[in-house]
Chain A
Amino acid sequence: MKTLYFLLEKEFRQLLRNRQLMRTLLLAPLIQLILLPLAADYTVKDIQIAVTDNDHSPSSQRLIAKITASGYFRLAGYTASYPEALRMVEQDKADLALQIPAHFERDLVRENNKQLYVAINAIEGTKANLGGAYLQSIISDFNDDLRIQWNVPASDTPQVTVTSSNWYNPLLKFPLYMVPAILVTLVTAMVAMQSAFNIVQEKESGTIEQINVTPIKKHIFIIGKMIPFLALGIVLFTMGLLVGRILYGIVPVGSLWVLYGSLIVYLFSMLGLGLLLATYSFTQMQAMSLSFFFINIFNMMSGVFTSVDSMPGWAQTIVATFPPSHFIKIMRMVVLKGSGFSDILPKLGAMALIGLFLNTWAVLNYRKTA
Chain B
Amino acid sequence: MKQLFTFIRKEFLHVFRDRKTLLMLFGLPIAQIVLFGFALSNEIKDSRIALVDYSKDAVTTRLIGKIEASHYFDIQHTLASADQLNAAFKRGDIKMAVIFPANFGDDLTHTGKATLQIIADGSDPNQATTITNYLQSIVNDYNAELARDAQQPLQIRPEVQMLYNPELRGAPNFVPGVMALVLMLVCTMMTSVAIVKEKELGTMEILLVSPFKPIYIIISKLAPNLLISIVNLFIILILSDIFLDLPVKGSIALLVFCSILFILTSLSIGLLLSINAKTQQAAMMGSLMGMMLPTMLLTGFLFPIENMPFILQALSNLVPSRWYFIIVKRVMLKGLGFSAVWKETLILAAMCFLLFAISLRKFKIRLQ
Contact = CB atoms under 8 A, between A and B. Distances in A.
Contacts of A292: 24, 28, 185, 189, 288
Interface string A148-165: 001010111111111111
A338 B289 CA distance: 31
A118 B159 contact: yes
B120 A166 contact: yes
B297 A284 contact: no
Interface string A104-116: 0000110011111
A163 B42 CA distance: 25
Interface in A257-309: 280-286, 288-290, 292-293, 295-297, 299-301, 305-307, 309
Interface stretch (B123-131, B208-216, B259-267, B349-357): B123-131
A116 B157 contact: yes
B44 A168 contact: no
Given A44-B304, A124-B304, A164 B118 contact: yes
B109 A158 contact: yes
Contacts of B43: 125, 129, 310
Nearest to A316: B39
Interface stretch (B5-13, B138-146, B219-227, B230-238): B138-146
Nearest to B178: A300
A143 interface: yes
Contact of B119 (A115, A130, A164): A164
Nearest to B158: A116
A161 B289 CA distance: 49
B197 A306 contact: no
A337 B159 contact: no
B161 A117 contact: yes
Interface string B279-312: 1111011101110111011100011101111011
Contacts of A228: none
Interface string B312-345: 1001000000000010011001101000100000
Contacts of B363: none
B168 interface: yes
Of B25, B132, B137, B155, most A-chain CB atoms within 10 Å:
B155
A338 B46 contact: no
A43 B118 contact: no
A241 B73 CA distance: 34
A219 interface: no
A186 B294 CA distance: 12
Of B108, B311, B334, most A-chain CB atoms within 10 Å:
B334
A336 B123 contact: yes
B164 A288 contact: no
B41 A167 contact: no
Nearest to B285: A24
Contacts of B330: 92
Given A90-B336, A189-B292, A288 B40 contact: no
A44 B307 contact: yes
A366 interface: no
Contacts of A309: 44-48, 95
A91 B165 contact: no
A103 interface: no
Nearest to A150: B154
A158 to B, nearest CB: 5
A143 B155 CA distance: 7
A293 B163 contact: no
A332 interface: yes
Contact of A185 (B91, B152, B293): B293
B40 A332 contact: no
Contacts of B114: 158, 160-161
Contact of A172 (B47, B122, B182, B290): B122
A285 B280 contact: yes
Interface stretch (A5-13, A27-35, A50-58, A354-362): A27-35
Contact of A286 (B20, B28, B91, B279): B20
A interface, over-half SS: helix
A8 B357 CA distance: 45
B312 to A, nearest CB: 5
Task: Say which size band chain A's interface belongs to.
Answer: 35 or more
B161 A112 contact: no
Nearest to B168: A125
A123 interface: yes
Given A123-B173, A288-B284, A168 B89 contact: yes
Contacts of A290: 20, 24
B297 A40 contact: yes
Given A164-B120, A293-B27, A315-B35, A136 B160 contact: yes
B112 interface: yes
B217 interface: no
A127 B63 CA distance: 28
B270 interface: no
B124 A332 contact: yes
A21 interface: yes
Contacts of A119: 160-163
Contact of B32 (A43, A154, A281, A300): A300
A163 B112 contact: no
A329 B92 CA distance: 9
Contacts of B121: 166-168, 337
B340 A91 contact: yes
Given A112-B153, A309-B48, A167 B35 contact: no
Interface in A317-345: 318-319, 329, 332-333, 336-340, 343
A182 B278 contact: no
A41 to B, nearest CB: 5
11 contacts: A90-B334, A113-B156, A143-B155, A155-B153, A157-B143, A162-B115, A173-B125, A177-B124, A284-B193, A311-B41, A336-B123
The 9 closest A-B pairs by CB, nearest first: A166-B122, A169-B122, A315-B39, A172-B125, A336-B123, A289-B24, A164-B118, A122-B162, A155-B150
Interface of B: 18, 20-21, 24-25, 27-28, 31-32, 35-36, 38-48, 59, 63, 89-92, 95, 108-109, 112-130, 132-133, 135-137, 139, 142-143, 146-147, 150-166, 168-170, 172-173, 181-182, 185, 189, 193-194, 197, 277-282, 284-286, 288-290, 292-294, 296-298, 302-304, 306-309, 311-312, 315, 326, 329-330, 333-334, 336, 340
Given A116-B157, A189-B289, A296-B185, 17 more contacts: A36-B294, A39-B297, A39-B303, A41-B303, A44-B304, A91-B340, A129-B130, A147-B153, A160-B143, A164-B117, A167-B120, A168-B123, A177-B124, A280-B20, A286-B20, A288-B284, A343-B90
